[in-house]
Chains A and B, each alone.
Chain A
Amino acid sequence: MSYTPELKELIKVVEQTRSERVALKKRGGEFPMMSLQERERMLTYHPDYKEEGRRALKVGSSKGYRVAHEFADILEAWSRVKPEQVDLSSVAMETDVLIIGGGGAGTSAALLAAQNGAKVIIATKLRHGDANTMMAEGGIQAATKIEKDSPYYHYLDAMGGGHFKGDPDLVYTMATQAPSVIKWLEELGMMFDKFPDGRMKSIHGGGTSRKRMLSAGDITGAEIMRTIRDEARNHQDINVVEFSPVVELILNEHGQCAGALLYNLETEEYFIIKSKATILATGGCGRLHVQGFMTTNHYGATADGLVLGYRAGVEVTLLHTVQYHPTGAVFPEQAEGLLITEKFRGAGANLVNIKGLQFVNEREPRDIESSCCIRECLERGLGVTTPTGRVGVWLDSPMIDMLSGEGTVQHEFPGKYILFKRYGIDIAKEPMLIYPTLHYQNGGLKITADCRTSVPGLFGAGEVTGGVHGENRLMGNSLLDVLVFGRIAGENAAVYIRETAKDGRLTLEHVTAFHKQLEAAGVPKDRVSPMLLPDYTDPEVRKRQLTSHYIGTLR
Chain B
Amino acid sequence: MTTNVTREKKIKMIPIFVMGKRYEVPETLTIMKAMEYAGFKFIRGCGCRGGICGACATVYRKAGDYKLYSGLACQTVVEPNMYLTQIPFYPANRAVFDFSKIKPEPEEIFKLYPEIFRCVACNSCTKVCPMDVEVMDMIAQLKRGDIAKAAEMSFSCIQCGLCASRCMGELPQYHIAQLARRIYGSLIALRAKHLQEAMQAIVSGRYEECLRTLMNTPDADLRKIYQEREMEPEMTGEDWTPKDKKCL
Contact surface of A with B, Cβ cutoff 8 Å: 1, 25-26, 28, 30, 35-36, 47, 50, 126-127, 129-130, 134-135, 142-153, 155-157, 159-160, 164, 168-169, 172, 175-176, 179-180, 182-183, 186-192, 194-200, 204, 209-211, 217, 219, 222-223, 226-227, 230-231, 233-234, 243, 265-266, 291-293, 296, 298-299, 330, 333-334, 338-339, 348, 363, 374, 377-378, 383, 385, 387-392, 403, 414-415, 418-419, 422, 435, 533, 536-538, 541, 545, 554-555
Closest to B201 in A: A146
Verify A144–B189 contact, CB threshold 8 A. Answer: no
Closest B residue, CB atoms, query A201: B238
B123 interfacial contact with A, CB 8 Å: no
Give the contacting residue for A234; candidates B2, B39, B98; CB below 8 A. B98
Could you say which residues of chain B place their CB within 8 Å of the CB of A266?
43
- The reply to whether B28 and A299 contact each other, CB–CB distance below 8 Å, is no
In contact, B6 and A385 (Cβ under 8 angstroms): yes
The answer for the CA separation of A408 and B52 in the assembled complex, in Å, is 21
CB pair B47 A418 closer than 8 Å:
no
**Main SS class of interface, B:** loop
Query: Is B42 an interface residue, CB under 8 A from the partner?
Result: yes
Cβ contact within 8 Å between B75 and A211: no
Identify 5 residue pairs between A and B in the complex whose beta-carbon atoms are under 8 Å apart, listed by A's number. Answer: A200-B194, A210-B242, A222-B158, A230-B182, A388-B9
Q: List residues of chain A with CB within 8 A of the CB of B38.
A: 541
Name A187's closest neighbour in chain B (CB-CB). Answer: B186
B49 touching A191 by the CB < 8 A rule? no
Assess whether B199 is in contact with A152, with CB atoms less than 8 Å apart. no
Cα A555 to Cα B40 with chains together (Å): 11
Q: A150-B207, A199-B192, A334-B29 are in contact. Are A537 and B46 (CB under 8 A)?
A: no
Interface presence of B19 (CB below 8 A): no
Residues of B within 8 A of A147 (CB): 241, 248
Q: Which of B57-65, B138-146, B164-172, B227-235 contacts A (4 or more CB under 8 A)?
A: B227-235
Give the Cβ gap from B150 to chain A, nearest Cβ, in Å.
Answer: 12
Are B195's CB and A299's CB within 8 A?
Answer: no
Given contacts A134-B53, A149-B248, A176 and B211 within 8 Å (CB-CB): yes
Known: A186-B185, A388-B9, A390-B5. A150 touches B99 (CB 8 A): no
The range of chain B's interface size is 35 or more
How many angstroms between the C-alpha atoms of A435 and B6 in the bound complex? Answer: 13
Binding site for A on B (CB under 8 A): 1-9, 28-30, 33, 36-39, 41-44, 46-53, 55, 75, 77, 94, 96-99, 131-132, 151, 155-156, 158-159, 178-179, 181-187, 189-199, 201-202, 206-207, 210-211, 214-215, 219, 222-223, 225-227, 229-236, 238, 240-242, 247-248
Given contacts A194-B192, A231-B99, 19 further A-B contacts (CB under 8 A): A127-B47, A130-B53, A134-B48, A135-B50, A150-B207, A155-B215, A160-B227, A164-B222, A183-B195, A186-B186, A199-B238, A209-B230, A230-B178, A296-B50, A299-B49, A330-B4, A363-B234, A389-B9, A414-B156
Min Cβ gap A541→B in Å is 4
Please give the distance in Å from A210's CB to the nearest CB on chain B: 5
| Docked pose: A190 CA to B215 CA in angstroms | 33
A198 touches B192 (CB 8 A): yes
- Whether the Cβ atoms of B51 and A419 lie closer than 8 Å is yes
Nearest B-chain residue to A130, judged by Cβ: B47
A96 to B236, CA, bound (A): 50
Q: Which residues of B contact A390 (CB under 8 A)?
A: 4-6
| From B4, B7, B49, B99, contact of A189 by CB (8 A) | B99
Determine if A293 and B2 form an interchain contact, defined as CB atoms under 8 angstroms apart.
yes
Residues A146 and B248 in contact in the complex (CB < 8 Å), given A126-B55, A230-B182 = yes
**A28 near B233 (CB under 8 angstroms)?**
yes
Q: Residue among B43, B178, B234 with the most chain A CB within 10 A?
A: B234
Cα distance A135–B39 in the bound complex, in angstroms: 26
B214 touches A299 (CB 8 A): no
B108 to chain A, nearest CB (A): 12
Bound Cα distance A186, B248 (Å): 24
> Across the interface, do B52 and A148 meet the contact criterion of CB distance under 8 Å?
no
**CB contact under 8 A between A25 and B194, given known A129-B53, A130-B48, A389-B9:** no
Query: When the two chains form their complex, are residues B52 and A135 in contact, meaning their CB atoms are under 8 A apart?
Result: yes
- List the A side residues contacting B7 at CB < 8 Å: 389
A204 pairs with B196, CB closer than 8 A:
no
Roughly how many angstroms separate A533 CA and B49 CA in the complex, as a whole number?
Answer: 13
Judging by beta carbons under 8 Å apart, are B215 and A172 in contact? yes
Contact of B2 among A195, A217, A292, A555 (CB under 8 A): A292
With A194-B192, A389-B9 in contact, is A156–B49 under 8 Å at CB? no
Taking a contact as CB atoms closer than 8 A, the residue among A179, A219, A230 that contacts B52 in the complex is: A219
Assuming the contacts A183-B199, A186-B191, A298-B47, asked whether A168 and B215 have C-beta atoms less than 8 A apart, the reply is yes
Q: Smallest CB–CB gap between B29 and chain A, Å?
A: 7
Q: Which residues in A have their C-beta under 8 angstroms from that of B198?
A: 142-146, 179
The distance in angstroms between the C-alpha atoms of A209 and B94, with both chains bound, is 43
When A135-B50, A209-B231 are in contact, do A389 and B96 touch as well, CB less than 8 Å? no
Residues on A with C-beta less than 8 A from B55 are 126-127, 130
Cβ contacts under 8 Å, A230 to chain B: 178-179, 182
Known: A148-B232, A292-B2. A179 touches B75 (CB 8 A): no
